[in-house]
Amino acid sequence: MAESRRKWIIGAAALATATVLGGGFWFAHSRGWLRSVEVPGRELVSRGEGWVRGLTSQDKAKESGGGMAGMDMGSMAMEAEPSGVEGYAALEVAPEVQQRIGVTFGRVEREGLQMSVRTVGIIRPDETKEARVHLRTEGWVETLYVNYTGQEVRKGGPLLKIYSPEFLRTQLDYVTAMRSQRGNVAAGERSLGNMALQKLRLLDVSEPELKELEQTGKPREYMTLRSPVTGTVLSKDVLEGDYVTPGKELYDLADLSSVWVQAKVYEYELPHIELGKAATVTVPSLPGREFPGKVVFIKPTVEEATRTVEVRVELPNRDGKLKPGMFADIVIRHDMGEGLLVPTSAVIRTGTRDIVFRVDKGRFMPVEVEIGAIKFDDRFQMLKGLEAGDRVVTSANFLIDSESRLRLGGGGMAGMDMGGMKMGGGPKTKKDQSGMPGHDARGMSSKSRGKGVREGTHMEGMDHSKMKH
């Protein structure tokens, strides 16, 4: 019984609350208190009889003739007049507006045309000064004299010592043949001696060691492998006790006093590259340093997938600062005579033509220009349209470009005075100044126009007797 009574009390309270809220909402709506919620952005203004909706800041800007809310259009003083370029008007922009939109200037200059081909590459050892060391026999490594990568070696210096049965047997054959020659033996014995001597030379035994063997007659137990070049050990693949054969590469040695930079250039850049042309190389790990070099090789074929050609630049590296595997930036310069140069930022490329705004007595004059296909660092070659010494706009020119086209092709806005911004577009006529024949639209407010319709005011030329109401 108590439970049902509690549920009945809760239901009655909920119904009373809903009734009060609904009645309050209807009363507020009938008095107009909720109209600010219905029209977002408008505020309620008290005007005599009650509350009406006020204007937003955008509405106020439109009534005052402004363009955008919060912008003082009167201070944007830009005078426009037709120019010699179709679709563009010449502009005169006040200095304070130039400063506000960030206008900067540059000049057309006559200078040497130096084409710069820029690419990246990787430093490699000079292959003409690189050697891979193999044995010409087989045996067991007894001692390593050069036992780590990066070690410096000199030409003729010992690399390792091995025990080779073939080397020992060939020495014995040579000693036996030499002893036989002293005993005035047949010519066949002398021939065997010569063959043994030639075989020792083919095994890369040095001449001093052969002379010592001839004088002493005592064969060496171990054979010494010597370095063929002066340089650095790039790789090592041998340890003491290894059994080695002629097919195994033991060392990779390279003279790094000069290095190569392998790079790739696009095929359209090939006319500006030739053998012997100077190049400047920089590496990120050595900031501030430039290494002079020259082009020593241009690959005769083009990679089809990338449309690039391999180029090789040779550099001196006497101090050893350039390491194989480093990334490098390469600049190859090509002199192409003299010509007019304009900053690239001054040129507006529309796709069908190129436009530059030239400064002429404080006015920005659009000029249709013709530029070369080659870019010289951050400048284009000027072929037609400007002369040396001309002052041009280099920043904010896209904004000026838009304003110039808007002023000339403004359509319905031509002749409109937007609070001091004069829109060029031809002289005003009486028809332009009035909204409809016989009516002054500028002096007609929305309220008066509404009253005119309600009070029976009709437009000129309209027969109301035939209208169905």
Handedness of CA 349, 350, 351, 355 (dihedral sign): negative
| CB of 412 closer than 8 Å to CB of 362 | no
DSSP class of residue 288? T
| CB of 366 closer than 8 Å to CB of 375 | no
Report field, pTM of the whole predicted structure over 0.85:
no
| CB of 168 closer than 8 Å to CB of 221 | yes
| CB of 54 closer than 8 Å to CB of 327 | no
Lowest mean pLDDT of 11-20, 175-184, 254-263, 350-359, name the range. Answer: 175-184
Domains of the chain: 2-54 (no CATH), 128-254 (2.40.50.100), 429-469 (no CATH)
Tell me the CA end-to-end span of the chain in Å, nearest whole number.
Answer: 67
The 10s digit of each residue's pLDDT in 237-256 is 999 999 999 989 999 999 99
* Number of neighbours of residue 394 by Cβ within 10 angstroms: 19
Region 304-318: what's the mean pLDDT? 95
Query: If pLDDT is split at 50, 70 and 90, which confidence band does 188 have?
Result: low
The 10s digit of each residue's pLDDT in 66-105 is 433 444 444 444 556 777 888 898 988 888 998 999 999 9
pLDDT at 139: 94
DSSP class of residue 439? B
Q: Radius of gyration (Cα) for the chain, nearest Å?
A: 47
Region 327-352: what's the mean pLDDT? 92
Query: If pLDDT is split at 50, 70 and 90, which confidence band does 155 have?
Result: very high
In SS3 terms, 197-213 reads as HHHHHHCCCCHHHHHHH
Average pLDDT over the chain reads 78
Q: CA-to-CA distance for 91 and 89, rounded, in angstroms? A: 6
Closest to 145 (Cα-Cα) out of 154, 132, 136, 135: 154
Residue 373 has pLDDT above 80, yes or no: yes
Task: At 73, list the tokens.
Answer: 């259009």
Query: If pLDDT is split at 50, 70 and 90, which confidence band does 214 have?
Result: confident
* Axis crossing angle, helix 207-216 with helix 187-202, rounded to the nearest 10: 140
Q: Which residue has the higher pLDDT, 55 or 19?
A: 19
Q: Which residue has the higher pLDDT, 288 or 42?
A: 288
- Distance of CA 129 to CAs 38, 47, 155, 201, 232, Å? 86, 98, 12, 23, 11
Region 130-135: what's the mean pLDDT? 93
pLDDT at 36: 47
The 10s digit of each residue's pLDDT in 55-64 is 444 444 444 4
Lowest mean pLDDT of 88-92, 306-310, 408-412, name the range. Answer: 408-412
pLDDT at 409: 65
Task: At 53, list the tokens.
Answer: 């909706």
Q: CA-to-CA distance for 254 and 234, rounded, in angstroms? A: 7
Handedness of CA 373, 377, 379, 384 (dihedral sign): negative
pLDDT at 429: 42
Query: If pLDDT is split at 50, 70 and 90, which confidence band does 434 have?
Result: very low
Percent of the chain with pLDDT over 90: 45
DSSP class of residue 438? T
pLDDT at 386: 93
Q: Which residue has the higher pLDDT, 64 or 305?
A: 305
Residue 171 has pLDDT above 60, yes or no: yes
Output b/e per residue, 268-307; b: 16+ Cβ within 10 A: ebeebbeeebebebebeeeeeeebebebeeeeeeeeeeee
